[in-house]
Each structure stands twice: as C-alpha cells, then as structure tokens.
C-alpha cells in the first residue's frame, strides 16, 4: 500500500549539532545533495520507505514509531545498507510528521553494539522517545 500523503520533516537541533558536521566536512557539497535529494524525499514519503529494506522499525505505540533508516551519500557509489550511514527518526503517523533525531555513520559508534549506542543517545536527549520506550515495557 502506498501513500500519497507527504509528511512534514523537522531536523532536531541535537541532530544538527552532533555528527552532521562530520558529514558536511567529509562530503562537502555531496552532503547537501544527499540531505535535500535523498533524506528529505525519503522522509516525506516515509510510508513508502517503510516497505523497503532501507528502513527498520525499532518500536512503536499509538501512532508513533522509532525508525532506523539507511542511506548513502550522493556520489559515493555505495549502497545504502553497506554505507554505514544511518538516520534515527521519530515518526508520528497521526499528524504526518517526521523528526530527524540523529544522523550518524557506523564509525561514530566507538564501543559496543551500534543499537545500544544510538538508543542510549536518543533516549537521553529526547523525552518523548524515553516515554515511548516506557510505554512498551
């Protein structure tokens, strides 16, 4: 099932301040192409993307979901899955909004498992994510 409804997209301040600068520095103009042509387009059509292998549903409750989305930077000629580039999203299907909580590369995860690393960050930084996890217990 495909949706014709576009979602509104908000890049959270925390996401802008952390790790995005590494992408800007490393990929320069290709990062802005990726952000505008790939990330924003995919997030606006998140219902369609959720049916692909690029997106993983992490948890959800009452119309809200945490999604991990794989992406590749434009010009790198690497698939989204093998690139190691990820976005953590909070999707509210009720009001058709997508919040970009964290953008990172697997190289940013210094120790332990990747999922434990990013979950601890988003749960600490975003009260609504912590509340969503508490609902699932």
Instruction: Say what percent of the chain tops pLDDT 70.
Output: 93
Token pair for 52: 């692909």
Q: What's residue 134's pLDDT? A: 66
Domain that holds residue 66: 8-136
107 burial (CB, 10 Å; 0-12 / 13-18 / 19+) is: exposed
Residue 86 lies in a domain: yes
In a domain, 1, yes or no: no
Angstrom distance (rounded) from CA 39 to CA 70: 10
pLDDT tens readout for residues 47-67: 888 888 889 998 888 889 999
> Does a structural domain hold residue 26?
yes
Residue 28 lies in a domain: yes
Task: Supply the pTM of this predicted model.
Answer: 0.87
CATH code of the domain in which 44 resides = 3.30.2310.20
Q: How many domains does the chain have?
A: 1
Residue 88 lies in a domain: yes
Residue 2 maps to a domain: no
Answer yes or no: is 66 within a domain: yes
* Phi (first) and psi of residue 21, to 5 degrees: -60, -35
As a whole number of angstroms, the distance between CA 5 and CA 15 comes to: 25
């Amino acid at each position: 099932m495909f949706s014709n409804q576009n979602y509104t997209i908000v890049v959270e301040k925390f996401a802008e301040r952390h790790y995005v600068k590494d992408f800007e520095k490393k990929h320069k103009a290709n990062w802005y192409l990726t952000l505008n042509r790939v990330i924003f387009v995919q997030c606006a059509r998140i219902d369609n993307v959720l049916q692909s292998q690029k997106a993983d549903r992490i948890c959800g409750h009452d119309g809200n979901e945490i999604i991990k989305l794989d992406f590749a930077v434009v010009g790198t000629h690497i698939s989204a899955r093998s690139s190691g580039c990820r976005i953590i999203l909070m999707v509210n299907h009720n009001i058709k909004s997508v919040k970009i909580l964290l953008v990172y590369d697997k190289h940013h995860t210094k120790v332990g498992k990747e999922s434990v690393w990013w979950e601890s960050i988003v749960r600490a930084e975003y009260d609504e994510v912590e509340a969503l996890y508490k609902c699932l217990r």
